[in-house]
Structure 1
Amino acid sequence: MEKFEFTKPELEETEGILNHLRDTINDTLKPDDELRLREQLMKAIEEGHIQRDVFGLNPVLQALRTAQIAVDEIGLKRDGVLATLLFPLVINGHQTVDDIENKFGTSVAHIIQGLVKIHNLYEKNPIIESENFRNLLISFSEDMRVILIMIADRVNLMRQIRDTEATEAKKEVSEEASYLYAPLAHKLGLYQLKSELEDLSLKYLEHDAYYMIKDALNATKTSRDAYIKSFIGPIEEHLTAAGLKFHMKGRTKSIHSIWQKMKKQKCNFEGIYDLFAIRIILDAPVEKEKMQCWQAYSIVTDMYQPNPKRLRDWLSVPKSNGYESLHITVLGPENKWVEVQIRTNRMDEIAEHGLAAHWRYKGIKSEGGIDEWLANIRSALENNDDLQLMDQFKMDLYEDEVYVFTPKGDLLKFPKGATILDFAYHIHSNIGNTCVGGKINGKAVSLREQLHSGDTVEILTQSNQKPKQDWLNIVKSSKAKAKIRLALKETRAKDGLYAKELLERRFKNKKIEIEESLMSHVIKKLGYKETSDFYKDIAEERLDTNTVIERYVELRDHDSGVRQAESAENFEYESPNEQFTRKNDDVLVIDRNLKGIDYKLAQCCHPIYGDDVFGFVTVSGGITIHRRNCPNAPELRKRFGYRIVKAKWDGKGSSQYAITLRIIGNDDIGIVSNISNIISKEDKLTMRSINIDSHDGLFSGNVVLMIDDNSKLDALIKKLRTVKGVKQIIRI
């Protein structure tokens, strides 16, 4: 193993960071902390426990850089810094958590224990999935400094891997930074670190988009600066005249947020108008903060026309992460909308550095002084559902309502998460019932598309569209849900009427009179508690009308005392637990050229070529082919053994049969695409439909296929079971 050594630049940077940390947190360090730390690090290096990582980075220097971020940007003190620096020694086997506890105390050891749990989690499965969030939260809840050190560590790593040649590892680190660490930082109010993580992730993952926006920002900087100057000039005069102490600055949006807007609005860079925001930062005593902020608000809105829908008051009720500010959007020169943020120096410090700034601003320096701060962080996270951690983070960051425009310019309000379908039902029930999609800002979208404030929405309809049960999962508003339920009820009523007419027609064709009381008995015998469910199944072809007629005739004949005459020669007792057997060896051979016998494939089990099957003689004389493991087989064999005939397939099947597979599993990214890709690559196999629903991190759905025989089906099921996330496949 190659001996680990510091380069000269690394040694210089190491000493510089150590001196900075010593100066910053010296009042919380114990007398022998630094000496013991140096001894441990030097010993680990000499014994070969320290090695460079996959990116070729120095782990000791990396830990120091992380510690510096944790101190400067977040506000951690002695315990957090020592845990960050000693953690690599525990991972590399040089020290145990007990060793650390003996030398540096319980608090440091406790933090390292949490970091070790996260490390072990990554060792098992480096991709963050829903199942892992529970484990992450358990670790976080033990000591909140674990999550803060993780964020600092990822920021540091993202800064260092710019020129690495380990592209796959770089991609993985960047995706996790965007998916997990940036939302965590946002939730905790660490906005600078959050923006840096997002921008660096975009830079590494979508290089061309990042530099396109960066170059465009540089190209428009002169005109943007000139506009900001012309906008804030008059405001400065009026604020000064009012006797307020303040400073102002224009803040350009991050490259990542601009890119997100471009994708969301489906436009180019020139189509983004709110590239910057103006920030008014007041130098106000704590007791006068709110008064002076509202005074500044009054001055700005007297000068420029405000948009009342865009007022955000986080003065009266700050965000859970401590954020306080007053946001307003006004119509500036050249009829451009400009966002203005009004806050004090204290509020700005909190906005930049999160909850840590509360305590730094109060001048609390002791290690014990951050206990209350950590309790606040825990409180900010504790209400999240562990299975939907990231979704909950995102939901908490936005308002509860969205405002959208009709094509005529009317402004409508919807709950956050409302879709095109909500909009359609808001207009009229018939519009909702026939909705097939819509247009948002002129772009065609599906009826599932979510609405965002400022969208102009148009609805597209088709006369043959009908409401579906899963629409109840698409809409957010109670009004839309009520209208869908009513429409489904009406649809069921129509289907019931159609099914009743169909059944009456079939009975009439067979010259059988329907007695209502007997039909009610049949419906109960078939297992239906509600008549509406019985007719619904007939309408949707889940229940064959011939089955109903057979059961009706059996009950009618039984009630009339009519019994089928059988000779003793054909009598046979069949155990429910045995295979189908008959005394004679006649076997129905199923062949596409079979003539003279009216047979069909059962709708209840959908047999295909190659399945073990049997035949069931119907009242009309035809034969229905069932799979041996058909759910109706036990009942058929128990009650109508005399009608069962052996059956087998002949030759090689050349027809295609419709079968349905029910697939259940974890809702992993791209799982539908992976399933579809496997099916599409199979020869002589056609996918007719795929319908998958997702809920609480799980998916379930049906895939309808046209397939030749059961050997191909078995091979396909084996392949589908290899898809990551698939837990169960059932042939319906």
Structure 2
Amino acid sequence: MDNHPTTFPPAEEDPAYLVFLDSLDYLPSDDVARIKAAYAYAAKAHAHQKRMSGEPYITHPLAVAGAIVEWQMDADAVCAALLHDVMEDAGACKHELAEKFGKPVAELVDGLSKLDKMEFASYQEAQAENFRKMLMAMARDLRVVLIKLADRHHNVQTMSAMRPDKRRRIAYETLEIYAPIALRLGLNKLYRELQDISFRLIYPHRAEVLAKALRAARGNRKELLTRILENIRGKLEHAGLRAEVFGREKSLYSIFRKMQEKRLSFSQVLDIYGFRVVVENVPTCYLALGALHALYKPVPGKFKDYVAIPKANGYQSLHTTLIGPYGTPVEVQIRTREMHNVAQEGVAAHWLYKDGNESSAELQIKTHKWLQSLLEMQTSDSAEFFENVKIDLFPDEVYVFTPKGKIMAMPRGATVVDFAYAVHTDVGNHCSSARINHELAPLRTELRNGDLVEIITAQNAQPNPVWLSYVKTGRARSKIRHHLRTMQNEESARLGERMLRQELLSLGVVPISIPAAAWDSLVKASGQKSLDEVYTDIGLGKRLPSVVARRLLAREDMAGDAGSNMTLAIHGTEGMAIQLAHCCQPIPGDPIIGSIKKGSGLVIHTHDCPVIRKSRSTDPQKWIDVEWEPEEGKLFDIRIRVEVKNTRGVLAQVAAAIAEAGSNIEHVAMDADPERLMTSLRFTIQVAHRTHLAAVMRGLRHIPEVARIHRERGGEA
């Protein structure tokens, strides 16, 4: 490995470079030599490039490496920070970097390089795919994201020369993605800085007005602030507790967001005074809390113990709100020095404070688990993955318990289904109901702090598309979508195979007699990987069985012929591949016809359905003859309208007659006419077939109060 610069010496007279070299004193001399070589390589690669501000480009990688050195990270990370743009901007290759600086550095730089060489349909798609690549690299090595965050931090600090629209776009992306990632990794200081800089770039005028108001308010509040500070210090000293106490400044963006979200005025937001108390150990945290509650009265319900139950990003502190002098709310955070380090630097505290503290090690484990969950959320659609992860990056958490007493952090608004998928994918896929605090609860129930949640599973239970409308976590959303897609594809493949078989038989060809080479060339011509994928396309309505059959038999001349004269048999229980139309609600016994609808598969209508009348004549290719094949035990929804005389107890009589005929009532609605002589009862009932429906109607006609009864179809609903 070539460890020394050969052709491009470092700029010894550059003060920024000299300061950078001085900060490397925590690393051994071999590592420093390698970092110097990386700087020389980067300086040469970027020699003819300038930033938009006119500065030499090398100032950017040097600033990013400087931030990495501040976190006291290893030499590989510092080298990668210096080289992070050489693949993207200077055309260096991974193999060359691995040869000169080692494979770990090359992997880090590759993880940081964008996918510029790939073609994307839109900026959003490119952004989603770049984001996916970064997260996958970050799941393998956490240093990737720390370098990326330092890179983004320097970029947003130095964007004054950019076009305003580009500046705003990058600032929005930073607020939406990079700041939440910094928070998720516990990098609170960086999180606040990214937010404030982005806020100034998006709303420069508002930021300036707020900053001016904040400077003025600071002067006016000084006296009260000093008084509260002295009272807190005095009380803790009197209790014999050693502690550092200092005021906590609110960031510009957090003030702006509070004003927007809670519709508060500037003075209302600033009326809350924040203090931080840093003590020696955990028991002292609780002693300090007791002392402060004796000094000022606490606000009920405003105490949070993040020491016993840390946040997912490792954050620990006691939070309490007190009523100070003149009724002023005073927010206090109490923590140890270790907790303070982790609260400021998050996962970077692992490198900064190498004293083997437990908080840092625990945070590393939690972060690793989160990164692994990102890998599990991968889908073929990068935009969907992007959406899932963004959901996960904004958790305002609630803490719930498993039956064994394990604490699980869930985002606020998470439901029983989210919890089930957080436990295990199989538990999520088979959950049927739950007990919350020992009482039965539906799956859409939102979880609250302290809930004890027990999931009840059933072997035949499976994910329902409705779940997607209320789940909150990216993991649950991605697992449900994956299951539904797999299920639909399997069912569509079976349906597609049957449809193609019927088509071939109608052309007088037995499928088994077709040579394997013909099937292979069909798969190749369709651009799919397997015959199953071709079947799935037919089942989903993406390909017409008549066209596929003729291509298979190489009889293109017949592709325009009339459709098959054979009939496809269906049960109506095929699941997602075959849908019974809502407009006419067909049931066994009804004459039916099938429509091949792209992306939905086969949709079954009754022959006389008014909704399809026009499309049947305009596009006959998409319609195929189908018939019912009897299947025991399945019930179908249909709508009936019953006109009855407006007498007392008539609804109970009608409901009893429906139940006697062996039918379930799913829904009922009533319309009374203005003169109140007749009432129209509209039922959705479940029947097995047309004969069963006739029996229900016969039973209803025997009731003297029933004047008229008919089945509702199509537009009548």
User: How far apart are 1:315 and its partner, in Å?
Assistant: 1.5
Size of the aligned set, in residue pairs, is 439
**Which residue, out of 109, 125, 128, partners 1:112?**
109
User: How far apart are 1:256 and its partner, in Å?
Assistant: 1.1
Are the structure 2 counterparts of residues 358 and 300 from structure 1 closer, same or farther at C-alpha, using a change threshold of 3 Å? farther
- Spell out, residue by residue over 1:391-424, the C-alpha distance to the aligned partner (whole angstroms, 9 max, x if none): 11212x43359xxxxxxxxxxxx993289xxxxx
* Structure 1 Cα separation of the partners of residues 223 and 247 of structure 2: 11
Residue 610 (structure 2) aligns with: 603
Structure 1 stretches lacking a partner, 5+ long: 1-5, 402-413, 420-447, 454-468, 477-524, 531-535, 556-575, 578-600, 615-625, 637-732
User: How far apart are 1:352 and its partner, in Å?
Assistant: 1.1
User: How far apart are 1:357 and its partner, in Å?
Assistant: 1.9
Q: Structure 2 matches for 1:76-95, cutoff 5 A?
A: 76-93=73-90, 95=92
- Spell out, residue by residue over 1:298-331, the C-alpha distance to the aligned partner (whole angstroms, 9 max, x if none): 0011122223422221212333333221111122
State whether structure 2 residue 380 is matched by structure 1 residue 379.
no
* Structure 1 Cα separation of the partners of residues 39 and 181 of structure 2: 32
Answer whether contact 2:38 2:101 (CA < 8 A) is retained. no
State whether structure 2 residue 259 is matched by structure 1 residue 262.
yes
SS in 1 for 2:373: coil
Answer whether contact 2:235 2:291 (CA < 8 A) is retained. yes
* Structure 2 Cα separation of the partners of residues 451 and 157 of structure 1: 40
Answer whether contact 2:39 2:82 (CA < 8 A) is retained. no
Q: Structure 2 matches for 1:349-364, cutoff 5 A?
A: 349-363=341-355
Q: Which amino acid aligns with 2:140?
A: E
* Structure 1 Cα separation of the partners of residues 213 and 303 of structure 2: 29
Residue 399 (structure 1) aligns with: 398
User: How far apart are 1:474 and its partner, in Å?
Assistant: 5.1
- Spell out, residue by residue over 1:411-445, the C-alpha distance to the aligned partner (whole angstroms, 9 max, x if none): xxx993289xxxxxxxxxxxxxxxxxxxxxxxxxx
Q: Which amino acid aligns with 2:17?
A: E
Residue 303 (structure 1) aligns with: 295
Residue 595 (structure 1) aligns with: none
User: How far apart are 1:606 and its partner, in Å?
Assistant: 6.4
* Structure 2 Cα separation of the partners of residues 418 and 144 of structure 1: 27
SS in 1 for 2:276: strand
Q: Which amino acid aligns with 2:230?
A: G
Residue 584 (structure 2) aligns with: 543
Are the structure 2 counterparts of residues 336 and 451 from structure 1 closer, same or farther at C-alpha, using a change threshold of 3 Å? farther
Residue 294 (structure 1) aligns with: 286
Residue 316 (structure 1) aligns with: 308
Are the structure 2 counterparts of residues 323 and 149 from structure 1 closer, same or farther at C-alpha, using a change threshold of 3 Å? same
Residue 37 (structure 1) aligns with: 38
SS in 1 for 2:22: helix
Give aligned-pair identity as a percent: 26
- Spell out, residue by residue over 1:118-163, the C-alpha distance to the aligned partner (whole angstroms, 9 max, x if none): 66679986547656554332221222111110000000111111x2
Residue 645 (structure 1) aligns with: none
* Structure 2 Cα separation of the partners of residues 350 and 415 of structure 1: 21
Are the structure 2 counterparts of residues 29 and 380 from structure 1 closer, same or farther at C-alpha, using a change threshold of 3 Å? farther
Residue 417 (structure 1) aligns with: 413
SS in 2 for 1:26: coil
SS in 1 for 2:49: coil
Residue 727 (structure 1) aligns with: none
- Spell out, residue by residue over 1:348-367, the C-alpha distance to the aligned partner (whole angstroms, 9 max, x if none): 122111122244333589xx
* Structure 1 Cα separation of the partners of residues 268 and 447 of structure 2: 19
Answer whether contact 2:397 2:411 (CA < 8 A) is retained. no
Q: Which amino acid aligns with 1:65?
A: A
Structure 2 stretches lacking a partner, 5+ long: 1-7, 379-384, 401-409, 416-443, 450-464, 473-568, 575-579, 597-607, 628-717
Answer whether contact 2:17 2:62 (CA < 8 A) is retained. no
* Structure 1 Cα separation of the partners of residues 27 and 573 of structure 2: 76
Q: Structure 2 matches for 1:178-217, cutoff 5 A?
A: 178-217=175-214
User: How far apart are 1:203 and its partner, in Å?
Assistant: 0.8
Q: Structure 2 matches for 1:544-559, cutoff 5 A?
A: none
- Spell out, residue by residue over 1:191-248, the C-alpha distance to the aligned partner (whole angstroms, 9 max, x if none): 1111111111111112233223222212211233333222232221111112222221
* Structure 2 Cα separation of the partners of residues 82 and 43 of structure 1: 15
- Spell out, residue by residue over 1:250-276, the C-alpha distance to the aligned partner (whole angstroms, 9 max, x if none): 112211112222221234323435654
State whether structure 2 residue 9 is matched by structure 1 residue 19.
no
SS in 2 for 1:221: helix
State whether structure 2 residue 144 is matched by structure 1 residue 146.
yes
Answer whether contact 2:245 2:278 (CA < 8 A) is retained. yes
* Structure 1 Cα separation of the partners of residues 150 and 362 of structure 2: 20
Answer whether contact 2:210 2:252 (CA < 8 A) is retained. yes
* Structure 1 Cα separation of the partners of residues 192 and 466 of structure 2: 37
* Structure 1 Cα separation of the partners of residues 15 and 116 of structure 2: 26
Answer whether contact 2:35 2:78 (CA < 8 A) is retained. no
Are the structure 2 counterparts of residues 31 and 173 from structure 1 closer, same or farther at C-alpha, using a change threshold of 3 Å? closer
SS in 1 for 2:152: helix
Residue 338 (structure 2) aligns with: 346
**Which residue, out of 145, 153, 156, partners 1:155?**
153
* Structure 1 Cα separation of the partners of residues 192 and 138 of structure 2: 22
SS in 2 for 1:343: strand
Residue 134 (structure 2) aligns with: 136
Answer whether contact 1:10 1:61 (CA < 8 A) is retained. no
User: How far apart are 1:347 and its partner, in Å?
Assistant: 1.7
Answer whether contact 1:189 1:323 (CA < 8 A) is retained. yes
**Which residue, out of 234, 237, 241, partners 1:240?**
237
TM norm structure 1: 0.52
SS in 1 for 2:161: coil
Q: Which amino acid aligns with 1:44?
A: A
User: How far apart are 1:390 and its partner, in Å?
Assistant: 1.9
Answer whether contact 1:17 1:65 (CA < 8 A) is retained. no
* Structure 2 Cα separation of the partners of residues 94 and 390 of structure 1: 32
Answer whether contact 1:59 1:88 (CA < 8 A) is retained. no
* Structure 1 Cα separation of the partners of residues 313 and 222 of structure 2: 32
Are the structure 2 counterparts of residues 91 and 224 from structure 1 closer, same or farther at C-alpha, using a change threshold of 3 Å? same
* Structure 2 Cα separation of the partners of residues 364 and 189 of structure 1: 18
Residue 500 (structure 2) aligns with: none
User: How far apart are 1:21 and its partner, in Å?
Assistant: 3.4
State whether structure 2 residue 124 is matched by structure 1 residue 97.
no
Answer whether contact 1:315 1:325 (CA < 8 A) is retained. yes
Are the structure 2 counterparts of residues 341 and 38 from structure 1 closer, same or farther at C-alpha, using a change threshold of 3 Å? closer
Q: Which amino acid aligns with 2:250?
A: K
Residue 333 (structure 1) aligns with: 325
* Structure 1 Cα separation of the partners of residues 179 and 468 of structure 2: 32
User: How far apart are 1:167 and its partner, in Å?
Assistant: 2.2
User: How far apart are 1:451 and its partner, in Å?
Assistant: 13
Q: Which amino acid aligns with 1:150?
A: K
* Structure 1 Cα separation of the partners of residues 194 and 316 of structure 2: 23
Are the structure 2 counterparts of residues 123 and 154 from structure 1 closer, same or farther at C-alpha, using a change threshold of 3 Å? farther
SS in 2 for 1:338: strand
Are the structure 2 counterparts of residues 114 and 475 from structure 1 closer, same or farther at C-alpha, using a change threshold of 3 Å? closer
State whether structure 2 residue 469 is matched by structure 1 residue 473.
yes
- Spell out, residue by residue over 1:427-470, the C-alpha distance to the aligned partner (whole angstroms, 9 max, x if none): xxxxxxxxxxxxxxxxxxxxx9x9999xxxxxxxxxxxxxxx97
